[in-house]
Every structure is written in structure tokens, then in C-alpha cells.
């Protein structure tokens, strides 16, 4: 995983931009995961109610 993000590549981006991209990527991944989890939970509830 660390080899994917090489220091030279990170240095090319300005620190604020890199941090911003990482922040928004984290938010996107988290929201997608939460959405998927709630969807599965809803499916489980529907299956239990039947």
C-alpha cells in the first residue's frame, strides 16, 4: 500500500490539495460503506418481517 503512494508523487501535489483529496476520498468511502451497510440491514429487516 505504501509503495502505491510514493513520496515523489505526493510532493508533486501541493500539501493542501493532497490533504483535501485524501479527506474527500475518505468521506466518499465512509458514506458508501454506511449506505451499503444500512441497505443490507434494511434487506435483513424485510426478510425477518416476512
Question: How far is CA 44 from each of CA 22, 24, 33, 36, rounded to the nearest angstrom?
Answer: 33, 30, 16, 12
pLDDT of residue 41: 96
pLDDT of residue 19: 83
Note if the pTM is more than 0.85. Answer: no
Query: What cell numbers appear for 5 in the block?
Result: 503512494
- What sign does the dihedral 32-38-44-49 (CA atoms) show? negative
pLDDT of residue 8: 59
Determine contact, residues 49/41, Cβ cutoff 8 Å. Answer: no
pLDDT digits (tens, 9 = 90+) for 4-48: 555 555 555 566 777 888 889 999 999 999 999 999 999 999 999
Contacts of 26 (CB under 8 A, 6+ apart): none
pLDDT of residue 1: 47
Amino acid at each position: 500500500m505504501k509503495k502505491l503512494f510514493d513520496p515523489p508523487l505526493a510532493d508533486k501535489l501541493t500539501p493542501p490539495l493532497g490533504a483535501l483529496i485524501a479527506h474527500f476520498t475518505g468521506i466518499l468511502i465512509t458514506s458508501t460503506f454506511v449506505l451499503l451497510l444500512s441497505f443490507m440491514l434494511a434487506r435483513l429487516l424485510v426478510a425477518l418481517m416476512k
